[in-house]
A and B are shown apart, each in its own frame.
Chain A
Amino acid sequence: MLHTPTTEAQACAVVASIVEARIPLAVRGGGTRSGLGRPDNAVSTLSSAGLSGITLYEPAEMVIGARAGTPLKLIEQTLAERGQMLPFEPMDHRALLGSEGEPTIGAIAAGNISGPRRINAGAARDSLIGIKLINGRGELVKSGGRVMKNVTGLDLVKLVAGSFGTLGFLTEVTFRVLPRPERVVTLIWEGLSDEAAVALLSAALGSPFEPMAAAHLPAGIGGEDARTLLRLENFSASISYRAAELARLLKAHGRPELIEGRGSDKLWREVRDAAFFAGGDEAVWRLSLAPTNGPKATAAIARAIPQARWFYDWGGGLVWLAVPAHGDAGAAAIRTATKPLGGHATLVRAPDAVRAVVPVFEPLAESLMRVSADIKKSFDPAGIFEPGRMYAGI
């Protein structure tokens, strides 16, 4: 059954009735990311489609608030009209997951969905400053607010960001925003090995020239030759200066090509959306590691899974990995490689049957699992919200 409340009060009433009947409930925005996490066994769906619209926009205060079902497109257009943007460049999962629909701002919060800018400007959770959520008691709970400096009480905003609907139904979210840069350019070095590329990216990210995004595409990913990418965003005068300084700092790696405009935008959209893996039937993983451990992890994985393909974002710290989808979709080999390096792996795309048996999110230490399960219960004692979406019991 599909519930589409148009007010918070209606949504509270829906949740209260469902709690009574103990019906597993899927939480939906635009539905473009419903393939993330473990496959759901929900009987009913609670949609945010009826809760749409921007509730607050103060450009001079760099803050925007909107009902959870507001299309992301509307948020981005509204911000662009005033020369602003979301700081964290949220990924669009449609190409990778082959899904349709309009992404919503609520799902950006619920999934903590970020992109290449995350390495410098923080994740969605770092810009999310306020939420309203209906918990599993049918109560409307607020946390945070509309100001960016706020340490009043426990930070439930962070807890809800990235909880994939397991703690409740978001009705409204408020984000910090930033001015759009005057000029954006991309520096590209060709032909580097993974290790050399990550060394270049580390040197650049550790320089005073503030690259806002740093990625490496090995040979065969979107092109014949390996490409190492740094993106600069700033006032026009600074861009020329900083691009020249970075080229000088990194001259041991060769001379970079500089691109901007459509070509640059398209390239970063592909990195952001892992578009290089769109359309295929491989399983796709997302590995988070300390940047210098990125190439170590991929080398170990390649030994176990020779067909594996990958590229790096976040200076080497985010590895997008495509492997054959059969068996455990490489889970054992991948996690054996990442865990000793202090990182973790998430299965982003795989057939339902695989995601039903392979832990999609990195298994947690027992004590953290117990705490997480208890937190889930504290929000949702009857266990109705997206049961098992993240882990069995959460």
Chain B
Amino acid sequence: MSAIAFPEPRAEILARRESILAGLARLVVPEALITSEDERRPYETDALTAYRRMPLAVVLPSTTQEVAAVLRYCGEQGVPVVPRGAGTSLAGGAIPQEDAVVIGVSKMNRILEIDYANRVAKVQAGVTNLAVTGAVSADGFFYAPDPSSQLACSIGGNIGMNSGGAHCLKYGVTTNNVLGVTLVMLDGSIVEIGGAHLDAPGLDLLGLIVGSEGQLGIVTEATVRILRSAEGARPVLFGFPTSEQAGAAVAAIIGAGIIPVAMEFMDKPAIEICEAFAKAGYPMDVEALLIIEVEGSDAEMDAQLARIVAIAREHGVKTVKESKSAMETAAIWKGRKSAFGATGRIADYICMDGTIPTGQLPFVLRRMDEIIKGYGLRVANVFHAGDGNLHPLILYNCNDPVEAQKAEDAGNDILKLCVEVGGCLTGEHGVGIEKRDLMTVQFNEADLHQQQRVRAVFDPRWLLNPAKVFPLEGRIAA
């Protein structure tokens, strides 16, 4: 695929490569600077593997001070910088460009402080999402946002993209679970925003930083909210004869005042792919599957499930299957969370991430099917039904350039559809390069200019992750 353009690398920077490398070498220990082509290669893309660019160099600092020194140097030298967490972005948020230095936070992977009385943990940005929960789970606590890539993805990357997950219906996304950050700005200054208290004074810079896709600075540490786990959690599988019935059941559950901790939808192709991979016991004779998870004591879960089952029956549910053991629960979630990986075993795919008002679900599913069929492609649908965050996986063959282009076009049509019905281009993956050129579908010039003016406060020269988020044409700097 080559539809998404990258800015032309600046020849004058490429010409200065040796001097820039020498400058970087003065700032960090030798192990932190990666210059050889072989060693740079793992950094040339992220999880949007159809696109790749070899960066000028990669720096892996171990301290906030090192990040500051490198960022200041790059700022002074006018060299673009691409911040990187674990490189799991599906939107190409961490894909570099030839004239850029990648600053990766993967070596900054320590949990600095756990404070149960105040229910916060302070961690370095390179700590993986799951490691935060891992550090507190023995004491009955967890970190709520749980993107499917949580085993690998970093807190720094989660903050950059404002990551979500399957359980945010109840617990919110990253921005609702971060209380403070240490931010290094382009001039090398280190600022502390927020902390273990709520609602930092002044303008909500924390809320601005979360989800800013590495364009305002580099987060090196974060104070996150940790929560006490419920006494128990139980996912239940509900198989429906049609997607419409499943969608109507979701609306009715919420209408009845019940907010399950998660409500995940899979269509038939997704059920087949995930079941083949995870052997989770998903029903195979249904068109749509809901995984609904409830929490609480056994009696509480029984009571809540009884209500949910009654509603599902009113909407024609065909199969109801409760998890009977921790192993079954794990298998049910493994199937859902490995949906992307399992799909990757049978075909190449691109994963969309639009959000729609849930009331539009039946219409959007129908239109999406028409769009995909119109391009002669196949799609598997998994999504967060409670909040309308869709993840259609468009299957294609990446060795066939015509089909690859079709897949990308179909994806763009679907995202435009999401915006048309009142939704948005991206619910939790971020804009990156992938949706950059669609931003004008959702936003008009005044909207985009205001965002860019705020961006310019931090980086008027477009050095920080410059190829991302905003269309390359029509950019403003102040």
Contacts and interface: CB of A to CB of B under 8 A. Distances in A.
Interface of A: 58-63, 83, 112, 114, 118-119, 122-123, 125-126, 135, 139-143, 145-159, 161-163, 166-167, 178-180, 182, 199, 202, 205-208, 235, 237-238, 241, 288-293, 314, 317-318, 342-344, 346, 361-362, 364-365, 367-369, 371-372, 374-376, 378-379, 390-391, 394
Nearest to B357: A61
Contacts of B336: none
Interface stretch (B19-27, B273-281, B322-330, B419-427): B419-427
Contacts of B258: 179
Interface string B341-380: 0000000000000011111000000000000000000000
B119 A206 contact: yes
A208 B231 contact: yes
Contact of B296 (A140, A238, A376): A238
Contact of B205 (A135, A166, A318, A371): A371
Contacts of A155: 162, 175, 207-208, 210-212
Contacts of B357: 58, 61, 63, 146-147
A60 B230 CA distance: 25
Contact of A365 (B115, B191, B451): B191
Contacts of B252: 60
Given A155-B175, A208-B230, A60 B254 contact: yes
Given A122-B172, A126-B172, A371-B205, 7 more contacts: A125-B204, A141-B446, A208-B140, A208-B231, A235-B304, A343-B195, A390-B202
Contacts of A148: 387
22 contacts: A58-B359, A118-B198, A139-B450, A147-B357, A147-B423, A149-B384, A151-B428, A152-B439, A153-B439, A153-B443, A158-B204, A159-B208, A162-B199, A180-B257, A241-B297, A290-B196, A317-B197, A372-B202, A372-B205, A375-B454, A378-B453, A379-B450
Given A179-B259, A241-B299, A112 B204 contact: yes
B220 interface: no
A141 B447 CA distance: 5
B443 A142 contact: yes
A122 to B, nearest CB: 5
Interface in B138-152: 140-141
A62 B258 CA distance: 11
B435 interface: yes
Nearest to A338: B197
A367 B204 contact: no
Interface stretch (B61-69, B72-80, B455-463): B455-463
Q: Which range contains the number of B residues in contact with the other chain? A: 35 or more
B7 interface: no
B231 A147 contact: no
A4 to B, nearest CB: 23
A110 to B, nearest CB: 12
B28 interface: no
Contacts of B356: 147
B228 A206 contact: yes
Contact of A135 (B197, B201, B450): B450
B224 interface: no
Contacts of A140: 446
Q: Which 5 A-B residue pairs are closest in the complex by CB-CB distance?
A: A158-B207, A179-B257, A149-B427, A290-B196, A378-B453
Contacts of A119: 198
Given A58-B359, A60-B255, A156-B450, A288 B197 contact: yes
